[in-house]
Amino acid sequence: MGALVVVDGDLLNFLPAFGQRQVTVTGPAVIRASGHALIGGKRVCVFGDERRVRVRADYMMPGYGMGSGVITIVSLNVNQKTPRISDGMPLIVEGTEFIARFSPTVPAVMSGAPFSPDSTPPSMGKGTFQLQQQFVTAG
């Protein structure tokens, strides 16, 4: 049996833990589609659309105040793309969890210390798709 197809505007849910950082989404967390096929009047997401995701978020980590940054999708799980194609590209399907990266843009500052910003490299986390449509599957 196939998995549900991801379409334009589907929501992205990110687990809050990105390494030591606890991340809270502050901007729109949606994926935009570039496929030509439509489901319920919305374009289907094709492999590569996940690379255009950029979601604003705030973060905290032990001993630091609030900072902010951007979440991107690094890679889909193998069960989140199908060999079936639209416009020569695999479709993105619900699957399990994808791999995401949080990159600080305004580093958190250590509490009670002279200016000491978070210098930790970007951290990895996970996320899932929350689908609008519940009837078209692929794979």
Predicted pLDDT of residue 121? 95
pTM of the model: 0.93
Q: What phi, psi does 58 have (nearest 5°)?
A: -100, 160
Token pair belonging to 120: 């930790």
Predicted pLDDT of residue 83? 84
Q: Do 77 and 98 form a contact (C-beta atoms < 8 A)?
A: yes
Predicted pLDDT of residue 88? 78
Of the candidates 99, 85, 97, 1, the one whose C-alpha atom is nearest the C-alpha of residue 44 is 85
Cα distance between residue 25 and residue 55, in whole Å: 7
Token pair belonging to 128: 């899932």
pLDDT, block means (10 residues), the chain with 139 residues: 92 98 96 95 96 98 95 97 78 96 96 84 98 90
Predicted pLDDT of residue 115? 77
